[in-house]
Structure 1
Amino acid sequence: MVDVKEEFTRMFGYTHAEAVGKHINDLLASASYQEESGRLSRSVIHGERVELDSRRRRKDGSLIDVSTLGAPVEHDGKQLGIYAIYRDITERKKAEEARIRSQEEARMARNIQINLLPKTGPGIPGYDLAGRNIPALNVGGDYFDFIRLDERRVAIGVGDVSGKGLAASLVMANLQATIRSLALFDADPKDCLERANRLLFRSTDARTFVSLFYGILDAERGTLRYANAGQGMPILFQANEKPGHLKLRGIALGVKEDARYEEEDIPIAVGDKILIYTDGISEAMNASMQEFGEGRLQTVVSESRTSTSLGRIEEILADVNAYIHDASRNDDMTVVLLKRLRSSR
């Protein structure tokens, strides 16, 4: 080296006198980087321009992440020497490593969440029950669950935690554990919501709330007994009638500690369908800021020629994605569809 700049001495810890006259690779390349640095030097000596992110050694022996630029110095077509520029990229590397860790943690969280949600329907004879969840981010706060209570009954839960991402997914996992625990005690829907509400209210801050539909399908009786804590009103499709709604809807969980809920027992006739969904479906917006809307949702289900509940759900999701097209999806989407196929008697 014939000269070094002040920034070089600051970065590597050598004084000007200590650096000048030394071979750059002997000074900066540790044993594990000697081959790489030698290869780069030879390339530059032969007239090539090289750029590389690597590591170089400071005077104290520590390694520093650097971006290296090496190029020949030419005059009148003759190469007179070479120059090298080193930039400290330590902070950039730290940011990249943090991003990679974050992505890996998000991937692991998503896998955990996927494993928490039902992979298939509960297989109740005479009924076709299916659900799908698609988070806006890697993980989300939407929830659905099928909890087998006994041979003839299954509990159905569909919920939406305020917010998105990892924080919402943690609340969702806690909610699922709470509901499953309460289901083991065979709690009625209204009792289940009231107990879950108290637990949520006491364990979260004022910004956290959950809308939740919880119902118990009795396949033998052909009924659905349900209660609703702020979740969008499920749509009931019956033969030869316009789509209607299940009527009950109370306050979301976590808003008021002593909230009370009502429950209703409704009959499900052969051919009836009940659609339960979160607002990420109906409120999905296109580039013109127009919502998909419940009307389109009803049309997709009513006009579908697909025979299975899962098939209809896939049609709904495909229609929503086609509607929003290039617009960003800002909310989780969850859909559960129940259809009665035949009488149990």
Structure 2
Amino acid sequence: FSQGDFVVFKSIAEQSAFALYNAIIYSMANEKKRLDHDLEIARDIQRILLPAEAPAINGFQISGLNVPARQVSGDYFDYIQVDEERLGVAIADVSGKGIPASLIMAICRSVLRAEAARNPSPADVLRKVNRQLYPDIKEDMFISMAYLILDHQRDGVTLARAGHDAPLLYKQQSQTVTPVKSPGMVVGIDSGNVFDRLTSDFAVPLERDDCLVLYTDGVTETLNAEGEEFGLDRMMQSVRASATDGAQAIVKKIIGDVRDFTGSLPQNDDITLIAVRKT
């Protein structure tokens, strides 16, 4: 081959490589577009599964919010009509994020709703949920949950906790905020022998204008630019500063304080909040 032939071959090879590179980029862009479309659909479906608004129940004021860090969330909250007198309130957090966590959460929602119907014991509901989900949850996944039942006839609140962050109890008379540390372990790591023993009903003493706040660790573990966590103390201050203004004000205050704390940093975890106020 002559020197001219090598120049032609080199030119053809370079153009072919460039064309192949463009084809790969185009294919990757199309694949990303397809995945983004699928995620958008998944987000819309998940939004349908979450409550659009809190139900009305005599004697209580309720407000809840979910803010996903990604297009789909591993957090979950729900309101469940147990019977004519009782309303169930659930919050949960699947280990991990994204599509796998959101799928487990959708399954959890279905099982919880089925078991909660006409069952006045939150602990018994969580025991049954754990037994159903345990065989289907991968070894490296688990679900933390808190489930409480509001009884407007008896003015009662009963809580069961499956390894979830302890709810915060605001007492109007003393204006104090304390964690409610009822026993329990996460869903999905034990077939039931240990889980059933640890999970029990816990009566929460709520008087007029007292509040109970349920949340996921996306609130307390939010980081600022210095790598510092928002933390439980700041959250308790937010609750104390807003509790007299009602359930919706508590949720709004906490979200606002978290955003002020993080500044322009992107949200690094799903955030879910539920506030219940005794009226």
Residue 142 (structure 2) aligns with: 209
> Which structure has the highest strand share of the two?
1
The alpha-carbon deviation at position 151 of structure 1 amounts to 3.2
Structure 1 spans left out of the alignment, 5+ residues? 14-65, 68-85
- Contact 1:122/1:148, CA 8 A, preserved across alignment: no
Rounded to whole Å, the distance in 2 between the matches of 1:279 and 1:217 is 23
Determine if the alignment matches structure 1 residue 194 to structure 2 residue 139: no
Q: In the alignment, is residue 335 of structure 1 matched against residue 269 of structure 2?
A: no
What code does the residue aligned with 1:177 have? S
In the alignment, is residue 161 of structure 1 matched against residue 94 of structure 2?
Answer: yes
Higher relative contact order (CA 8 A, sep 6+): 2
Q: Using the alignment, how far apart are the partners of 2:97 and 2:208 within structure 1?
A: 37
Q: Does 1:247 align with 2:181?
A: yes
2:36 is equivalent to residue 98 of structure 1: no
In the alignment of these two chains, the number of paired residues is 269
Alignment of 1:148 onto 2:81? yes
Structure 1 SS opposite 2:87: strand
Return the match for 1:129 from 48, 51, 62: 62
Give 1:4-23 correspondences, 5 Å limit. Answer: 5-6=8-9
DSSP 3-state at the match of 1:113: helix
Give the secondary-structure state (helix, strand or coil) at the position aligned to 1:269.
coil
Q: Give TM-score, length-normalised by structure 1.
A: 0.73
What is the rounded CA distance, in whole Å, between the counterparts of 1:122 and 1:160 in structure 2? 22
In the alignment, the residues of structure 1 paired with residue 8 and residue 182 of structure 2 have an alpha-carbon distance, to the nearest angstrom, of 75
Q: Distance in 1 between matches of 2:154 and 2:243?
A: 28
For residues 158 and 234 of structure 1, what CA distance do their matches in structure 2 show? Answer: 10
- Note if 1:279 corresponds to 2:223: no
Asked if the contact 1:222/1:267 (under 8 Å) is kept, the reply is no
Aligned pairs for 1:252-271 (under 5 A) are 252-258=186-192, 259-260=195-196, 261-271=199-209
SS in 2 for 1:89: helix
Computed over aligned residues only, the root mean square deviation of the Cα atoms, in angstroms, reads: 2.2
State the Cα distance separating 1:8 from its structure 2 match.
Answer: 6.9
Match 1:173 to one of 106, 110, 117:
106
**1:291 matched residue in structure 2:** 229
Q: Structure 2 unaligned segments of length 5 or more: list them.
A: none
The AA in structure 2 aligned to 1:249 is: P
Asked if the contact 2:83/2:118 (under 8 Å) is kept, the reply is: no
Could you state the TM-score of these two structures normalised by the residue count of structure 2? 0.90
How far the C-alpha of 1:7 sits from its partner, in A, is 6.3
Kindly, what percent of the aligned residue pairs are identical?
A: 31
In structure 2, what is the equivalent of residue 321 of structure 1?
A: 259
Q: Which of the two has greater helix per residue?
A: 2
